[in-house]
Copies of this chain bind each other. A is one copy, B any other.
Amino acid sequence: MSKEKAGATMADVAREAGVALGTVSRVVNGQQVGEEFRAKVEEAIRRLGYQYNSTGRTLRTGHTNTIALIVPNTITPYFALLVHYVNMALEKRNCRMLLCFSEYDRDREIEMIQMAKQNQVDGIIALTYNPNLVIPDDIPFVTIDRFFSTSVPCIASDNFGGGHLAANKLKELGCSRVAFLQVSSTITNEPSKRKDGFVSACVELGLPFEVLVLEDGQPYTLLEDFLENHMENGKLILDGLFVGTDTLAWRVIQSLKKMHVSVPEDVQIIGFDGIRMFGNMEPVVSTIVQPVADIAETCVSTVLSKHFANVPSLICLPVTYLYGGTTKA
């Protein structure tokens, strides 16, 4: 109704209510104020449609209730999920999200950390691939999937356990000769342990296995070559595949389709991540599901922790198996 051009300020409210500026502040912040004064102030606030100005508050208090989230992009479904759940976890705590895309560019990552600090964010959550990133030590900083040092908390899902689970599942589903396929990033990070868990379980189970890890940048055709090399008389001699990523699993499936190998009849495939088609439909592959919501929640609660210094330095969250049509169950 009222035509306040720029929003009313505390001074306006104070004048309207006939009280001091400080009193208004204490009402707004829910501190102890005499009943009659509180009523007058609240009435004035209502009448003027006052909303606090977060810039002024930030300048005074030094904190913004904003957390920066740095991810490569939002097009990759896993990152999109992460962004969504992080935002939800933040919102639950009345915090805002400053979203930054690194696009796997290490210079950009550095700029963004600087920019975030310039914007006085209260903390940073980063999923980064920069091998020698300098983590600022004057602001709460949490990483995802990447362990830097004991002073930088890292949240990840149980990648080793996931690999273990995949091997056991393939064995249980009757596989007798399996392989692990992955395109590795240039750095060693938590997801690298998917292979370790898988190999370890295969050894335990006495399950014959092979491993192909492509270095980042090597052409995908090498992976197709690998598959071709395991064909005998038009049949694949592997009957189980654990692929490091749902995305890669999907590509493998497409390649196999061209080679007239049928999934899951001839070969069963388990991916990793738990990506769903269009975000909400049935999974596209049988997979080891990362608990994205938990990861996001943990990142947020960690980065906002009052006692940030005493926070554990590596938090591992449990994964689960999800049937998605590329295995027999």
Could you list which residues of chain A lie within 8 angstroms of chain B, going by C-beta atoms? 5-7, 51-56, 58-59, 64, 73-77, 80-81, 83-84, 87-88, 91, 96-101, 114-115, 117-120, 138, 246-247, 250-251, 275, 277-281
Contact = CB atoms under 8 A, between A and B. Distances in A.
Contact of A55 (B73, B120, B275): B120
Contacts of A118: 51-54
Nearest to A114: B51
A263 B291 CA distance: 35
B250 A281 contact: yes
Contacts of A99: 83, 87, 97, 99
The 4 closest A-B pairs by CB, nearest first: A75-B279, A80-B80, A247-B278, A74-B84
A51 B278 contact: no
B138 A5 contact: yes
Oligomer: number of copies: 2
A9 to B, nearest CB: 12
A56 to B, nearest CB: 6
A250 B278 contact: yes
Contacts of A84: 73-75, 101
Contacts of A83: 74, 83, 99
Contacts of A52: 118
A53 B58 CA distance: 11
Contacts of A91: 101
Given A51-B118, A91-B101, 9 more contacts: A7-B117, A53-B120, A55-B119, A73-B279, A74-B80, A75-B280, A77-B279, A83-B83, A97-B99
Nearest to A91: B101
A247 to B, nearest CB: 4
Contacts of A278: 76-77, 246-247, 250, 275
Contact of A119 (B96, B138, B250, B281): B96
B120 A101 contact: no
Contacts of A76: 278-280
Contacts of A250: 277-278, 281
8 contacts: A51-B114, A53-B118, A55-B119, A56-B59, A76-B279, A76-B280, A96-B119, A275-B278
A122 to B, nearest CB: 12
A97 B71 CA distance: 14
A77 B279 CA distance: 7
B51 A117 contact: yes
A246 B75 CA distance: 16
Nearest to A75: B279
A75 to B, nearest CB: 4
Contacts of A96: 98, 115, 119
Nearest to A73: B84
Contacts of A279: 73, 75-77, 80
